[in-house]
Each structure stands twice: as structure tokens, then as C-alpha cells.
Amino acid sequence: MGAQAYISGVFEHPTRKAEGLSLAQLHADCAAGALADAGLKKGDVDGYFCASDAPGIGPLNMVDYLGLDVRHVDATEIGGASYLHHITQAQQAIADSKCNVALITGAGRPRAGAATYWLPQSPDVPDLGFEQPYGPATVALYALAAQRHMHEFGTTSEQLAWVKVAASHHAQHNPQAMLRDVVTVEDVLASPMIADPLHKLDCCVISDGGGAMIVTRPEIARSLGKPLVRVRGSGMAIKGQAGGDVDLTTTGAVKSGAAAFDEAGVRHADIKYASIYDSFTITVVMTLEDLGFCAKGKGGAFVMDGNLISGVGKLPFNTDGGGLCNNHPGGKGGMPKTIEAVRQLRGEAHPAVQVPGCDLALVHGTGGFLGSRHSSATLILERE
């Protein structure tokens, strides 16, 4: 196991359409909520972490806006996996005595204002000239991976639909979820086709909102009187086009997951709950395979028949409804994934979806696009 750090506070913003709230205010609201959850004050924070969704020059503007006095900052941007990677970075900063209490914030308001996450348009982006003429869009790039997965392994639209079905069974218990209606496989298949083979209900919601997390050194965490959630293992990876040697059916989770399990020293069978990035249903299927929960090409069979539903299946996932039903703030959903894992480990998830005896949870974030280039970050969290 690596350096010791604990997630001592979490907060998910309740809004899904932030009319009347600026982006900076969303970050501030989330910071205040996470500090209150931890039982800490603003003056306790000496490290701040954010991604490009923070307005202005990231930490430079936000540290000033929040009124923080910090000695360490980090503004790593790797898409939706950023906030998981921030936890790893905070863990290392704490081990190196760079900070004691790290605040991580993330937020977006694409519904009420301008989107904060989009395909790059700058002429300096090296891949632009090769890809832009073909009109890439987020859903199309994921559909490309889904089509190839179906071709190679016989994965079906019905199997993908089970991911949405499981998410909807959980979202019905979350009053903040954007989509709370329970759906069936047939409902998913009957929804409009967006980018073949992905239907509308195979796609995540787009929401405003955000969240924040507090990461602390062990002695501070133990003084707060909250359930102790320790970062036991982590890993990250970047996967791209490999100079033309493209494999559309494999994600960076192969490397990030292996690193996290190796550092944590646990087995897949030990994991009681998983928060898996669910930008699209295919994202979950491929990620579960690459994390090692099932063999390559068997992800479709693994998610079928309610296997991801809490109280029904072997691997409960995304018990808040995930990005498919609950919240995907600013198109970057790694923050709510981690927050729900902490809730599960604390025993604070909704009683209808709380996993009994949940002492080990996995969180996985994806940033970018499975069909071109993306980041993967994996955390294994433990309740002491």
C-alpha cells in the first residue's frame, strides 16, 4: 500500500440546473458542503485541487475567490477522471508534507449557461487535422467502440440496455436524480437511435451541479469522528491511437485497474461495490472487462439479468443512479462516482440500495473518448 490519506468529507450539489448560480458559486457551495461534512473550517484547508472546469486560471482564481490560504495547488486536467486523479495527487502531497487538508472541487453548468467540456477546436491540437474532417462527436466516438465490441465479441444492444436498467432501479430512490423512472430493456431499445448502436437511453444525462471532497492526513481524519474511508490503492493511464495501432475494444482501465489492485493488495472478489464511469452503457461494459471483473468480451453477459442491481446482483454499481440517471455535471462525472462510493463505505447510501457490510469499494473514472483517446483512473477505497 502507498502513502496514507483519507477522504474525510464529501458533498454533491443538489441542483441539476443552476439558474442564478455562477460557476464559481457552484464550486464554493460544494467546498462549503464538503467542509461541513468533514467538520472542518475553511482555514484548515492548505491544499487545493481542481480541473479546467474551475473558472479563470484554475487555482489562481479559485483560491482567491474562496478566500483560502494554501501552500499547495494542483490543476491536473484529464477529463472526467480528473477528480479521482486529484485524490491520488492529494494523497502524495500529504505524504510529502506539502499539505494536511486538501480540498478538491468540480462543477459545471452546461444547462444554465455555456458548456465547460467539448471537443477541442484549437488549430494547435495535433489530431485536429486528421479527425475534424470526419465530424467527430462524443456519442459517435463511443458508438464506434460499441460497434467494434459487438463485431468482435457478439455483444448485443439488449446486453447494453441492462446497464441502464440497473441504473434506473437505483435512481428511483434518489430524489435528486434527473431520471427517476425505472426502465426495462425494451424501453431502452425503443428509445431513439442517437449513434448506431447507442440509443437515447444508452447515453448519460447532461446536468449542472458539482461536488467536492476533503482529503486529509491520517491523524486529522481520526480526530474528526467520521467513518474512516482510506485510499488503499490507485492507478491511472492514458490510452490513445498508438501511432495507428488502434484497439477500440480496450480501455486504459487495463493498466489503471491493475495498478490499483496491485497497490491495494486485494482481489476482485473482495470488492463489495463499484462506481463505474457511465457516460454510455458501453463504457461500463468495457470498463468492467478491463478492470478484470470478467473476461474480455464477456462484459455483456456480466451485466445482464440485474447483476449490477443492489440487492440482486453480484456487483452493485452506481447506486445513486450514476451518470445515466442521476448527475453528470459539466460532462465530467468522476466526482459523483467517488462521492457515492464514500456514502456506501460510510453506510450512508439510501437504505434501499445500501450494500450490507460494504468495506471495500472501487471507483473508476474515464475522461475523453473511447473511440479516440482517453484517460482512466481507478481508486480502491476501504472503510477502516
pLDDT in tens, 17-65: 999 999 999 999 999 999 999 999 999 999 999 999 999 999 999 999 9
Domain with CATH 3.40.47.10 in the chain: 6-114+208-229, 128-206+231-383
pLDDT category at 120 given cuts 50, 70, 90 is: low
Lowest mean pLDDT among 102-111, 129-138, 207-216: 129-138
Q: Residue 341: helix, strand or coil by DSSP?
A: helix
Rounded-to-integer distance, Cα 191 and Cα 203, Å: 11
More confident residue, 246 or 75: 75
- The amino acid sitting at 147 is Q
| Averaged pLDDT, 342-367 | 98
Which residue is listed with cell 486560471?
A: 57
For residue 31, which of 5, 75, 62, 53 has the smallest C-alpha distance? 62
What are the percentages of helix, strand and coil residues in the chain, rounded to 5?
40, 20, 40
3-state secondary structure 230-298: EEEEEEEEEECCHHHCCCCCCCCHHHHHHHHHHHHCCCHHHCCEEEECCCEHHHHHHHHHHHCCCCCCC
Rounded-to-integer distance, Cα 322 and Cα 278, Å: 7
Output the pLDDT for position 114: 60
Q: Which CATH number fits domain 6-114+208-229: 3.30.565.10, 3.40.47.10, 3.90.245.10, 3.75.10.10?
A: 3.40.47.10
pLDDT category at 183 given cuts 50, 70, 90 is: very high
Q: Is the pLDDT of residue 222 over 70?
A: yes
Rounded-to-integer distance, Cα 228 and Cα 382, Å: 8
Rounded-to-integer distance, Cα 117 and Cα 122, Å: 14
Number of CB atoms found within 10 A of residue 338's CB: 30
Burial of 151 (0-12, 13-18, 19+ CB in 10 A): exposed
Phi/psi for 219 (5° steps) reads: -65, -30
Output the pLDDT for position 2: 58
| Averaged pLDDT, 343-371 | 97
Beta strands 72-74; 47-49: pairing state: parallel
Q: Convert the pLDDT of each residue in 186-195 to its tens digit.
A: 999 999 999 9
| Geometric angle at alpha carbon 173, from 313 and 24, rounded to 5° | 115
| Averaged pLDDT, 195-224 | 97
pLDDT category at 121 given cuts 50, 70, 90 is: low
Q: Distances in Å between the alpha carbon of 113 and those of 20, 220, 380?
A: 10, 38, 35
More confident residue, 45 or 130: 45
Topology annotation, domain 128-206+231-383: Peroxisomal Thiolase; Chain A, domain 1 (3.40.47)
Are 332 and 225 in contact by the 8 Å Cβ rule? The answer is: no
| Averaged pLDDT, 143-157 | 98
Output the pLDDT for position 275: 98
Output the pLDDT for position 353: 98
Q: Is the pLDDT of residue 260 over 60?
A: yes
Contacts of 351 (CB under 8 A, 6+ apart): none
- The amino acid sitting at 223 is S
Output the pLDDT for position 3: 77
Output the pLDDT for position 116: 45
For residue 378, which of 233, 269, 164, 242 has the smallest C-alpha distance? 233
pLDDT category at 220 given cuts 50, 70, 90 is: very high
DSSP 93-136: HHHTTS-SEEEEEEEE-TTTS--S------TT-TTHHHHGGG--
Average pLDDT, whole number, for the chain? 95
| Averaged pLDDT, 99-104 | 98
Phi/psi for 81 (5° steps) reads: -90, 0
Output the pLDDT for position 290: 98
Q: Is the pLDDT of residue 102 over 50?
A: yes
Q: Is the pLDDT of residue 118 over 80?
A: no
